[in-house]
Amino acid sequence: MAAKIFPTPPDGISSILLVFLFIITPASDFISLQAQQLTQTEFSAELRGAYNNNDDQLAVSLIKDHRLFVKAFVNDLITESISKELKGKTVESEQAKDMAEKAASGFEKIFGEKNLTTGVNYLKSWSKDQKGKKLVADSLYALGTTFRVNQPEKAIEIYQQAI
C-alpha cells in the first residue's frame, strides 16, 4: 500500500475549501485587473513609447485594453501637430501626425470605427488658417466646459464663440 502524502480531510472540509477557492479567485482576478488600469496620462505615455519603439504588439494591446483613452490621445496629437506646424516645427508636426495616424488606424482595425481616422485626415486638407481656427475653437470649448455647471449662460456664450 502506498503511503499518503496528505491526509484525507474530514467530510465536508473539501467542499468548503473548493467553495472558498471559487470565491477568492474572482476577487484576486478583479484586483489584478484594477492594478492593470492606467490613467489617461499613463496610457498616452505608454502608447507613445510603444510607437517610438516600433512595438506594434504593445500598441495594439494598449488600444484594445483602453478603448476610451484612444480618442483623447489622437485629439492631443492632432492639436500637437497643428501647434508645431504653426510654430514652423515641421518635423515635429509630422511626427505627431504620423503617430495620430497609427493610433487612429489601429483603432479602426480593432473596433471598425473610422471617426478618428477621419479626424486625422483633416490635417492633410486644412489650410494653416483653418488649423489655427481649430486650436482657438478647441481652447474656447475647454474654457466653456469649466463654466458649464456653475455659470451655464457664460458657458453657452463661450461655446457659441467656439462655433
| Residue among 76, 93, 163 nearest 128 (CA) | 93
Cβ pair 66, 44 in contact under 8 A = no
pTM (two decimals): 0.74
Instruction: Name the band, by pLDDT with cuts 50, 70 and 90, for residue 37.
Output: confident
pLDDT at 81 over 70: yes
Which residue stretches of 53-151 are H helix? Answer: 56-65, 67-86, 90-111, 115-125, 128-147
> What span, in angstroms and rounded, lies between the C-alpha atoms of 48 and 40?
12
Element housing 151 (H / E)? none
Is the pLDDT score of 26 beyond 80? no
Position 101 scores a pLDDT of: 97
Q: Decide which of 35 and 133 is more confident.
A: 133
Task: Report the share of the chain in percent with pLDDT over 90.
Answer: 77
- Stretch among 27-41, 46-60, 86-100, 127-141 having the lowest mean pLDDT: 27-41
Would you state the pLDDT for residue 116? 97
Instruction: Label residue 25 by pLDDT band (50, 70, 90).
Output: very low
Residue with cell 458649464: 148
Cα separation of 47 and 64, whole Å?
12
For the chain, the C-alpha Rg in angstroms (whole number) is 25
Residue type, 52: N
- Cα–chain-centroid distance for residue 37? 11
Query: So where are the chain's domains?
Result: 39-125, 127-163
pLDDT in tens, 49-73: 999 999 999 999 999 999 999 999 9
